[in-house]
Structure 1
Amino acid sequence: MPSTAILIDGAFFLARYRKVWGDRDANDARTVAKTVFGMALEHLKALDRPREALYRIFFYDCPPLEKSLVKPISGESMDFARTNAAGFRRDLHDQLRRQRKMALRLGRLADRGEWKLKQHAYQQLRDESLYWEELGDEHFEPDMRQTQVDMKIGIDIAALAYKKQVDQIVLVAGDADFIPAAKLARYEGIDFILDPMWQGIAPDLHEHIDGLQSVCPRPF
């Protein structure tokens, strides 16, 4: 029977969640986890495939930051393991593990133990709506980045294609890092569909996919 795998870049999905589902509680892990599963089923429906065609949902993310850092302005210590953001991420991963047909793929969160200015603070400094002497702790965020996530996505795409476990892959992502893996999958005869959750993509990306499909509500 035809089989479809749904691969979701977790960081991208969560960044788009508030814009797409503004009427839902973005801080409720159970609601978010159910939305992930529901979106996968919507893809099957849009592709005219039965629910039984779902091979698996792969959700890629990183564990939350769980260390203490000294704030850059006040000098106070902040334990990130106790923050609401860390608690939500742990709860979300737990809820996802409970979902049927769900595979949680966790990368690593690399941090330098330093702080960096938030993007909006840079903009405020540029347009002089904020001055250097007015900077506070709230204008900074930990300097960290995800690692291994893109590699895990690429490896899973390659494995699914080479082992002929599916004939169709839907990737929920918003950047072009997937192109090499998409080329490989298409070369192996996989129908490769990109879901950017209504976010615009570069025109040249269309040549590397077999279809563009967003099934979530379109944000205004």
Structure 2
Amino acid sequence: MALRLGSLADAQACYTLRPDAVKKICHGTLQLTDLEEKHFTLDVKQKGVDMKIGIDIASLAYKKQVDKIVLISGDSDFVPAAKLARREGIDFVLDPMWVDIKPELFEHIDGLRTFAPNPLKTKKR
């Protein structure tokens, strides 16, 4: 098990107007002069994580240190790493955490599995 953390792309961080605020502005129920902090979300991207994970996958595969890799992601940027691992005989399983994945990623995995129930679909009692 490994957790890879990237760095925040501070220079690309920005505030985005929330969709509900945009609708209110378009309908005339919210004026630009009435905008408050609650009408915005901070949009910050993490950089470098995909590359770190891809290098880990390549290293594990080339060194024959594992028989199976379970990647918790649905990002199609991992297609090259998945292809490499499978060429090296590694069973490559993907858990996209309830997100649809692109066909090009699905083509290069050995299994698609979700290991936990979707919290958004859990019935409240």
Into which bin does the TM-score normalised by the smaller protein fall? 0.7 to 0.9
Rounded Cα–Cα distance in structure 1 between residues aligned with 2:13 and 2:6: 20
Is the Cα contact below 8 Å between 1:170 and 1:195 reproduced in 2?
A: yes
Structure 1 residues 144 and 198, CA, compared in 2 at 3 Å: closer, same or farther? closer
Shift of residue 216, structure 1, vs aligned partner: 0.2
Rounded Cα–Cα distance in structure 2 between residues aligned with 1:113 and 1:208: 32
Structure 1 residues 123 and 204, CA, compared in 2 at 3 Å: closer, same or farther? farther
**Stretches of structure 2 lacking an aligned partner (at least 5 in a row):** none
**Stretches of structure 1 lacking an aligned partner (at least 5 in a row):** 1-56, 61-105
Equivalent position of 2:3 in the other structure: 59
Equivalent position of 2:103 in the other structure: 203
Is the Cα contact below 8 Å between 1:193 and 1:209 reproduced in 2?
A: yes
Shift of residue 132, structure 1, vs aligned partner: 2.6
Structure 1 residues 59 and 114, CA, compared in 2 at 3 Å: closer, same or farther? closer
Shift of residue 115, structure 1, vs aligned partner: 3.4
**4+ residue segments displaced more than 6 Å:** none
Letter in 2 for 1:115: C
Q: Residue 56 of structure 2: SS of its match in structure 1?
A: helix
Q: Normalising by the residue count of structure 1, what TM-score does the alignment of the two structures yield?
A: 0.48
1:107 paired with 2:6, answer yes
**How many residues align structurally?**
117
Shift of residue 159, structure 1, vs aligned partner: 0.5
Is the Cα contact below 8 Å between 1:169 and 1:190 reproduced in 2?
A: yes
Equivalent position of 1:52 in the other structure: none
Same amino acid, percent of matched pairs: 54
Is the Cα contact below 8 Å between 2:13 and 2:45 reproduced in 1?
A: no
Letter in 1 for 2:3: F
1:184 paired with 2:81, answer no
Deviations 1:173-196 (A, max 9, x none): 122111111111111111100001
Letter in 2 for 1:210: D
Is the Cα contact below 8 Å between 1:194 and 1:212 reproduced in 2?
A: yes
Equivalent position of 1:151 in the other structure: 51
Deviations 1:77-107 (A, max 9, x none): xxxxxxxxxxxxxxxxxxxxxxxxxxxxx32
Is the Cα contact below 8 Å between 1:125 and 1:131 reproduced in 2?
A: no
1:170 paired with 2:70, answer yes
Rounded Cα–Cα distance in structure 2 between residues aligned with 1:201 and 1:113: 26
Deviations 1:22-60 (A, max 9, x none): xxxxxxxxxxxxxxxxxxxxxxxxxxxxxxxxxxx1122
Letter in 2 for 1:180: P
Equivalent position of 2:39 in the other structure: 139
Q: Normalising by the residue count of structure 2, what TM-score does the alignment of the two structures yield?
A: 0.79
Higher strand share: 1
Q: Residue 183 of structure 1: SS of its match in structure 2?
A: helix
